[in-house]
Structure 1
């Protein structure tokens, strides 16, 4: 299948990428596997992956990444996260202010270390350094990216606005599914 252009993002729910997703203007076969919510977006001029196998690979990667995000979130919420001394100080000084920030940083760090230590994922993915204005995870060969953020209204949309043009097709990895 040749690459094709996607029109303005049209929200809708369809089965895709190994789960349920909100995508723009295309339907794909669903690989077998656990259902997850995939929030993805594309805009005019964005090229989506060039083949069904590219979509299948994105689906497989998405399932693996969401599992890593979910596990890191569960570990933090259960009190099993190994935090940096500064993070412990922040939480102790003002839990209402710092807990969600430290939680997000812990999930980000833990998932990126897991990606870098998994030869299967590391072969296809690049992780952004902390506090760099780029998607958390990128797959240049697929013209795709993933970003870990909460489901707070507007959070994902900000990421799409920032990253869709330079990085391609984006997939939301919610950090608050638990």
Structure 2
């Protein structure tokens, strides 16, 4: 998604609001953060929040997105094995952060279930991820694919989430070799 460009002053205000929100969420949890608290922490008026963010959910999402795991792996064109190994290596490197943030992620998902706007923010972010993964798959494997790239993008995201959750339960079973084999199998099975 393309984010709009803001003036330097507005960028500073937005950054202060996001920082204040992130700090309050870390201290109190998502459900205990109010717009009044955020404005006070950031040293701005409550009106400044609404002139920079459409809703509280948009501001919360901006703040919690910083703690979200971001996996950025280059696809080696036409080479499922190398790509799968690179994905596995990058994912395994993020497991310690996932473990450290597990309680936060659980709280975030519980909060999202109760807030339709946060649910919409998450859905939009996830769909953008599927599209980005699909774009990379298309660039790397293009005409070789027997299934639409976006379908494969969703499957990749599901595997990433699934392995992350499974690693929390059975870390000795979720090895780099297992992850690489699963991704390689997925890509090979999706090719013509």
TM-score above 0.5, yes or no:
no
| TM bucket, shorter chain | under 0.3
Higher helix share goes to which structure? 2
TM-score w.r.t. structure 2 length?
Answer: 0.25
TM-score w.r.t. structure 1 length?
Answer: 0.26
Higher strand share goes to which structure? 1
